[in-house]
């Protein structure tokens, strides 16, 4: 059995943190010891190398994101693996300096994990010589729902007062408040729709990651009718809110694989997701969810869904079947445990 250093971006209640905790559980279930640390704790690769030197029992390492995490492993003398993040293949490959670092990380890594075939294809486009190292393993997950839930209590606990809460059709947008998640993309169009139909509401929920952008979101929400902003919640309460919403919305500019989208699909909630590669890899339009390419198209799809219960039932049934078949936590655990053997 090994003691493994695991680096990830560990912002509280973010998708990265949830993914890291789940992978850590897979590592520890195999009998290994996993030391999970935030990449923010290490200014440079030298700092990680010093930790490894100070604790000789650390015999391997793992990191999420080739650039954010993997670059910090370049000075260590033990084998390591790497997990691609959406930022790697959607954003960082466009930067020549970052791409060079990522190529170096991939050359040195014993293995790499991509969440989708599309992510692997994008990586191979820029780092093709190392493609044999890249294994495709979709994210697995398990939903946990709090037993009691009430929208009125949920909003009031965030200091939000709204009349006729019980009659609302809630569209839930789950994201950390940073520009790449782009929650403001649909705000204006949704607010105009709310003026026509006061029974629809958009709730944006998630941690404040970018302070400047958070203030922009707050200001926009305050100017917009039918839009609410509420802080992040514990996972079981978030899942309860998700299950009690009319639909989940994803408006990100870039995604690796959205945990919130998969969780909604598992919970029987229809998904309306921006048509970007990361979302299109798991959402089939009008089969397991809906993809939109503009705020106006989002509103058209939302209105259509409100008036088509049979369509909604068909889509959520297909979506649930999809996640059961392709996003098994058990299968994910087996994959990581097998890959870790290459570090021994």
Answer yes or no: is pLDDT of 164 > 70. Answer: no
Q: Which whole-number Å values give the CA distances from 77 to 56, 108, 168, 172, in the listed order? A: 11, 11, 57, 45
Question: pLDDT tens, 129-161?
Answer: 667 889 999 888 778 898 888 887 787 776 666
Average pLDDT over residues 172-181: 94
> Bigger pLDDT: 143 or 241?
241
329 pLDDT tier (thresholds 50, 70, 90): confident
Residues 342 and 80: their CA atoms lie apart, in Å, by: 9
Q: What integer pLDDT is reported at residue 287 of this predicted model? A: 97
Q: Which domains does the chain have, with CATH numbers?
A: 3-140+328-343 (3.40.50.2000), 151-326 (3.40.50.2000)
Average pLDDT over residues 33-62: 95
pTM, full prediction: 0.80
Q: What integer pLDDT is reported at residue 166 of this predicted model? A: 67
Q: What are phi and psi of 99, to 5 degrees?
A: -65, -40
Answer yes or no: is pLDDT of 128 > 60. Answer: no
Question: pLDDT tens, 285-304?
Answer: 999 999 999 999 999 999 99
> Bigger pLDDT: 89 or 327?
327
Q: Which whole-number Å values give the CA distances from 173 to 22, 72, 132, 232, 336, in the listed order? A: 23, 33, 37, 11, 30
- For the beta carbon of residue 230, count every other beta carbon within 10 angstroms: 17
Residues 181 and 91: their CA atoms lie apart, in Å, by: 13
Average pLDDT over residues 262-281: 95
């Amino acid at each position: 059995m090994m003691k493994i250093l695991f680096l990830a971006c560990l912002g509280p209640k973010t998708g990265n943190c949830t993914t890291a905790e789940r992978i850590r559980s897979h590592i520890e279930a195999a009998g290994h010891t996993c030391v999970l640390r935030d990449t923010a704790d290490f200014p440079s690769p030298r700092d990680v190398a010093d930790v490894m030197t100070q604790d000789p029992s650390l015999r391997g390492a793992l990191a999420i994101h080739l650039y954010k995490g993997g670059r910090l492993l370049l000075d260590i003398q033990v084998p390591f693996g790497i997990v691609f993040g959406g930022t790697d293949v959607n954003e960082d490959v466009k930067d020549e300096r970052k791409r060079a670092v990522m190529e170096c990380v991939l050359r040195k890594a014993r293995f790499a994990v991509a969440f989708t075939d599309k992510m692997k294809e994008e990586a191979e486009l820029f780092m093709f010589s190392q493609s044999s190292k890249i294994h495709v393993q979709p994210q697995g997950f398990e939903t946990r729902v709090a037993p009691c839930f009430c929208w009125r209590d949920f909003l009031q606990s965030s200091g939000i007062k709204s009349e006729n809460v019980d009659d609302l059709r809630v569209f839930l947008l789950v994201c950390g408040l940073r520009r790449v998640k782009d929650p403001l993309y649909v705000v204006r169009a949704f607010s105009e729709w709310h003026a026509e139909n006061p029974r629809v509401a958009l709730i944006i929920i998630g941690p404040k990651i970018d302070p400047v952008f958070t203030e922009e979101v707050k200001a926009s929400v305050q100017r917009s009718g039918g839009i609410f902003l509420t802080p992040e919640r514990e996972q079981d309460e978030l899942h309860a809110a998700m299950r009690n919403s009319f639909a989940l919305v994803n408006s990100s500019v870039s995604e690796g694989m959205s945990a919130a989208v998969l969780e909604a699909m598992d919970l029987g909630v229809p998904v309306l997701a921006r048509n970007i590669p990361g979302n299109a890899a798991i959402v089939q339009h009008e089969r397991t969810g809906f993809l939109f390419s503009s705020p106006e198209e989002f509103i058209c799809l939302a209105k259509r869904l409100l008036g088509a219960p049979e369509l909604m039932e068909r889509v959520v049934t297909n979506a649930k079947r999809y996640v059961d078949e392709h996003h098994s936590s058990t299968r994910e655990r087996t994959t990581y445990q097998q890959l870790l053997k290459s570090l021994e």
